[in-house]
Structure 1
Amino acid sequence: MKNLVILAGNVGNAPETRTTQGGTKITSFSLATSRPKRDSEGKIIKENGRRVEDTEWHRITCFNGVAKSVAENVEKGQKVMVTGRIRYTRWTDQQDIERFGVEIIADEVTFLSYGKSRQQQDAAQDNEEDDIPF
């Protein structure tokens, strides 16, 4: 039996980190995955010459070392690939209504692009290198 998920997409919000009383680091963020929207015949739908996307949002939760790495290196809009497993949760809220949730527990997060602040930093360094007098 195997519970394996691989998602590649864009980070939707800045990661949020908390630490349990036992010292475990937990970092969470949302991840958007998109695919072209298709009609009943399987053709890609376009509006004004641009294809329409179906976007799904996933809650990603990381622990310990992965949590630390994500907290230090991941920014909103960055492209990442998450490998992990699906976890379903069920609870009763304050109004006594049963609720359900789904999250991805990340075993590995691979950075597919740099965040905007890193891209700006690299661009600034490139400009400094271009200012070499001859």
Structure 2
Amino acid sequence: MKNTVTLVGFAGNNPETRETQSGAKITSLSLATSRSYKDAQEKRQTETEWHRITCFNGIGKSVAKHVTKGAMLMVTGRIHYTRWTDQNGTDRYGCEIIAEQVDFLAKPKDAKSADTTAACELALAG
């Protein structure tokens, strides 16, 4: 069995890092992916989907340090579903991508750095 997903898209926000009660650091961000297609009237349409990305350990540290809103990323990881009950007793469901590898494909277009196409690969460490 295999649970693997690869997404290429743009960071929708600057990464946010939080710390768990046990001291583990978790970095999260949203990633936008888009697809184009022709509708029944042959007009070009674009559909954007938003994905929650969660990064742990060294990947999270590097993402927090180097990623800003608008950066193009390739994220490889696994799909993780969650279920919880809110304060009103309603069952809620969520889906996130647990990142196992993040490739930095391009910085945001307004970035001041001359190296806008640097690709840095971060593999999941141990």
| 1:88 matched to 2:87 | no
For structure 1, which runs of at least 5 residues remain unmatched after alignment?
A: 47-51, 124-134
TM superposition shift of 1:114: 1.9
TM-score normalised to structure 2 length: 0.84
TM superposition shift of 1:115: 3.7
Alignment of 1:54-133 (within 5 A): 54-115=47-108, 119-122=111-114
Superimposed CA distance per residue, residues 26-70 of structure 1 (whole angstroms, 9 cap, x where no aligned partner)? 0000000000133248x5x23xxxxx3100000000001000000
CA RMSD of aligned residues (A): 1.8
Matched residue, 1:129: none
Matched residue, 1:6: 6
1:72 maps to a residue whose letter is K
Looking at secondary structure, tell me which structure has more strand per residue: 2
Matched residue, 2:20: 20
Give the match's secondary structure for 1:2. coil
For structure 2, which runs of at least 5 residues remain unmatched after alignment?
A: 116-126
2:15–2:29 contact (8 Å) kept in structure 1: yes
TM superposition shift of 1:11: 0.3
Distance 2:38 2:84 in 1: 35
Which deviates the most, 15-24 or 2-11?
15-24
The structure that has the greater radius of gyration is 1
| Deviation >6 Å, runs of 4+ | none
Distance 2:65 2:2 in 1: 30
TM-score normalised to structure 1 length: 0.79
Give the match's secondary structure for 1:91. strand
